[in-house]
A and B are shown apart, each in its own frame.
Chain A
């Protein structure tokens, strides 16, 4: 067993963990933060994406011991003072989720992308989300949601780029 200390959603946590324990299971089963999901075993789907020291990581590919000393934010830590994060708002407003299982990872990946300063052009957002799979939405509304949230988060930069094609005219 190894002793680790880290900050998760602003709260300092200390624990004795097995060296083989993955960060995602530490979050889910030791801390009860079940918002972060597990969708695969090959680091392909990104459902487990969290922020670690300001970067989005797949928590199924990080050992809990590697997170020793780190600052981790999960989906549960995103809203502040009862206010949804702009990405959460944008996902709802743009119907960027259906079953919601990939959503926490998708939102955290979007956050990582926005905070990395990446371009919010349609194609760049799509490439930036390559590591996150959604089986429900076809991605278009996810891309729109991230662009819209970026527009808000990067103020006073100009508003979100419109998506390349429109969806759902009546």
Chain B
């Protein structure tokens, strides 16, 4: 077991100090990209395709160019030479069905502006540059584009069929890849198992909806070939590298700044066409440029999430002991591969057994191109899909073998462990105690009482259908060991960096390579540094999100920031303390071994009044009047932490719902979450992450779905048709936790950014499904909107109304009940 070494006293870690970020944000002094205005700044606006599939016959920009204030109108052909490379896909996964097969990446060229063929509604076909937001908006209306429309395919299963319109002719089909692996003899286990249960789930297409739309400002210094790029991004460091490559600009001449960023949820984890175009136009014209995304534009211009069909199977004994898990999934990638599109299913690939024991495991994913907005990372990315399938099939298995969903989980949990252990998929989990989290959640939710109430009242409460649902989830975060990423063909490392600079005045600057956008790193990093250096959090300034300030960074996504970036900070503090110890020993005229780090200072063993603090040592290191030989002046250190493994947060969520059988609407009566995110740095912030995550998952479970018609038109094209829930639709939350420190990093942190969103959809759906049992509904899928639930009830009662057009991949409610497809082998 890795030693979870905590030599410093914990004065601040674990305490809920108020956020240092807040004063500016509650007074209107936040600085978001759209708040930036530069002298001589030009505005960009984009002509976007209103059709989903077409070749461009002609573009007439002459009328637009005549409008007042218009500086330039540029087409894809005119900009073609501005790109050294297409937009990057950093995770080009190829066809393979086991690890030994050669890769065959099928990454289609994706140009920032369409050259000749449009593949989804919203794709950029021309760029307008004008002297104001309004003039740019007026000019895009005057660009005349003649489209020769082509056949459209929006359903991923149809897209795989012979004879379907093919999006990328050079690839010959719409199959992006088929990738999978097995662990153990999965075919034998499934052939011999007494019980096999199989269901099909659809993780509908979602629109991330960070409340701040994206935006870009570029300021060039033409005479120097320099560019400063402000972008509403989660990944300033990665963006710098990839824009340098895409436009063949000296990376050392590019500075990327992510100022205050208004939420991301994965949607700002990308290299977008608009970022490349703004840079290209600033380079061409030598003037500052700005683009601010409108919300309806965001729905077409920013990645969507999920859109995954899963055929999920579990093999078990007659008693319900799980023997094997197997999934075949289809992921709708939309029209192109964005930054990590192909990798999203892979992020869940090892988790389709959840927290349950099994002998065998199989995973296979097929990625598919369709005429829709590209999908990519959306909060949880691959892990919500896995958790949804596992947690729902466990309920189906429970019904099949006649057990309570809680009992089926308890009998199959991996036993408690505090040292890394291998699980069915072949991964090594860090630590966990799944029984304890579920037990705690059951008590908080009054699980047994709800079950008794259901039994006593035939599943009714005041005329409503009462249901309770569980989700004992696991996730994999802390991306990631660089060598593991190499094996998975990811194009970068998974390390994170931190620098600590101790000033002679006793103040401390921490520079982190993470790039927060709401997570409160400034506060939590201050707490970590304060404990590690024996100072107060208010003495610590945390800088981030500017590549000119933080040279090294891999940015924020995948719940990695605390477990990787926090560990880097811990390591940097170790270096500071090592140097400070030598200086302190020299000053106190004792041997280094005679000093102990206690109560935030170096004390002479046995003579605690003889001591030096880090601020005192920092002053000595700055004056450099009395340093030991070989010790350089100054007290500053940088550390880069490359994690040896992922981390595995887990927990138990329980949802109690009341479903109105007349309207189909669901009211969440109680939502309980017991999470194990390892060591907690700031409980207030952790709770905030959990609550926000749950809310996003409930939105996915009950409300949100991006819908396309058969022509590839996005039907939910703005915020009034795509239903982001408000406070009125969402419940309060009851939170608790269980702490099993991670063995992956020295601070014991696992990560909490995505847990709520990963856990909650199956908890809600299992609850709705549980309630609907009482009216004979066999199956219900996400989103369990009032309409879908009402239709399911009508159908179950033999009053089948015509279903509306099938959503997403056309398989939304398709299911195979165990009676039809599973059963005794």
B262 close to A100 (CB less than 8 A)? yes
A103 beta carbon closer than 8 Å to chain B: yes
Nearest-neighbour CB distance to chain B for A88, whole angstroms, equals 4
Contacts of A167 in B (CB 8 A): 687, 691, 732-735
Contacts of B518 in A (CB 8 A): 98-100, 136
B37 beta carbon closer than 8 Å to chain A: yes
B261 beta carbon closer than 8 Å to chain A: yes
A78 close to B691 (CB less than 8 A)? no
Contacts of B730 in A (CB 8 A): 126, 138-139
Q: Interface stretch among A30-38, A51-59, A64-72, A152-160? A: A30-38
B34 beta carbon closer than 8 Å to chain A: yes
B26 beta carbon closer than 8 Å to chain A: yes
A135 close to B27 (CB less than 8 A)? no
Q: Compute how far the CA of A137 lies from the CA of B262 in the bound complex, rounded to whole angstroms.
A: 12
B520 beta carbon closer than 8 Å to chain A: yes
B34 close to A38 (CB less than 8 A)? yes
Contact of B520 among A35, A98, A164, A166 (CB under 8 A): A98
Q: Interface stretch among B208-216, B460-468, B559-567, B606-614? A: B208-216
B211 close to A125 (CB less than 8 A)? no
Q: Which of A76, A97, A100, A166 has the most CB of B within 10 A?
A: A100
Nearest-neighbour CB distance to chain A for B522, whole angstroms, equals 12
Chain B 506-517 per-residue mask, 1 if CB under 8 angstroms from chain A, else 0:
000000000001
Q: Compute how far the CA of A73 lies from the CA of B686 in the bound complex, rounded to whole angstroms.
A: 33
A138 close to B29 (CB less than 8 A)? no
Contacts of B684 in A (CB 8 A): 95, 168
Give the contacts of B20-45 with A (CB-CB under 8 A): 21-32, 34-35, 37
Q: Interface stretch among B146-154, B718-726, B809-817? A: B718-726
Q: Compute how far the CA of A78 lies from the CA of B23 in the bound complex, rounded to whole angstroms.
A: 13
B236 beta carbon closer than 8 Å to chain A: no
A99 close to B262 (CB less than 8 A)? yes
B737 beta carbon closer than 8 Å to chain A: yes
Contacts of B212 in A (CB 8 A): 37, 39, 99, 101
Q: Compute how far the CA of A9 lies from the CA of B520 in the bound complex, rounded to whole angstroms.
A: 30
Known: A37-B32, A76-B28, A127-B728. A98 touches B519 (CB 8 A): yes
Known: A132-B726, A137-B691. A78 touches B295 (CB 8 A): no
Q: Which of A75, A136, A167 has the most CB of B within 10 A?
A: A136
A129 close to B691 (CB less than 8 A)? no
B34 close to A41 (CB less than 8 A)? no
Q: Compute how far the CA of A28 lies from the CA of B37 in the bound complex, rounded to whole angstroms.
A: 10
Q: Compute how far the CA of A131 lies from the CA of B296 in the bound complex, rounded to whole angstroms.
A: 17
B718 close to A42 (CB less than 8 A)? yes
Contacts of B694 in A (CB 8 A): 138
Q: Compute how far the CA of A88 lies from the CA of B726 in the bound complex, rounded to whole angstroms.
A: 21
Q: How many residues of A contact B (CB 8 A)?
A: 66
- Closest residue on chain A to residue B723 by CB atoms: A44
Give the contacts of A109-159 with B (CB-CB under 8 A): 122, 125-127, 129-143
Nearest-neighbour CB distance to chain B for A130, whole angstroms, equals 5
Give the contacts of B323-345 with A (CB-CB under 8 A): none
B262 close to A101 (CB less than 8 A)? yes
A93 close to B18 (CB less than 8 A)? yes
B368 beta carbon closer than 8 Å to chain A: no
Q: Compute how far the CA of A34 lies from the CA of B263 in the bound complex, rounded to whole angstroms.
A: 17
A141 close to B19 (CB less than 8 A)? no
B26 close to A99 (CB less than 8 A)? no
Nearest-neighbour CB distance to chain A for B756, whole angstroms, equals 8
B30 close to A35 (CB less than 8 A)? yes
Contacts of A74 in B (CB 8 A): 28
Contacts of B19 in A (CB 8 A): 92, 95
- Closest residue on chain A to residue B725 by CB atoms: A133
Contacts of A131 in B (CB 8 A): 726
Q: Compute how far the CA of A143 lies from the CA of B726 in the bound complex, rounded to whole angstroms.
A: 11
Contacts of A102 in B (CB 8 A): 211, 262
A88 close to B734 (CB less than 8 A)? no
B700 beta carbon closer than 8 Å to chain A: no
A135 close to B520 (CB less than 8 A)? no
B737 close to A135 (CB less than 8 A)? no
Q: Compute how far the CA of A101 lies from the CA of B31 in the bound complex, rounded to whole angstroms.
A: 10
Nearest-neighbour CB distance to chain B for A9, whole angstroms, equals 10
Nearest-neighbour CB distance to chain A for B384, whole angstroms, equals 16
- Closest residue on chain A to residue B295 by CB atoms: A40
B732 close to A164 (CB less than 8 A)? yes
Chain A to chain B contacts (Cβ below 8 Å), 24 pairs:
A25-B133, A28-B34, A41-B719, A44-B718, A45-B295, A45-B719, A79-B27, A84-B27, A99-B210, A100-B260, A101-B260, A129-B728, A133-B211, A133-B724, A134-B727, A135-B692, A136-B518, A136-B688, A138-B756, A140-B691, A140-B732, A142-B727, A165-B733, A170-B683
Add 19 more A-B contacts to A35-B28, A137-B692 (CB < 8 A).
Answer: A39-B211, A40-B295, A41-B719, A42-B296, A47-B211, A95-B19, A100-B24, A122-B732, A126-B727, A127-B727, A133-B211, A136-B518, A137-B691, A137-B695, A139-B730, A140-B691, A166-B734, A167-B732, A170-B737
The 8 closest A-B pairs by CB, nearest first: A35-B28, A101-B262, A100-B25, A99-B518, A138-B695, A168-B687, A138-B691, A75-B28
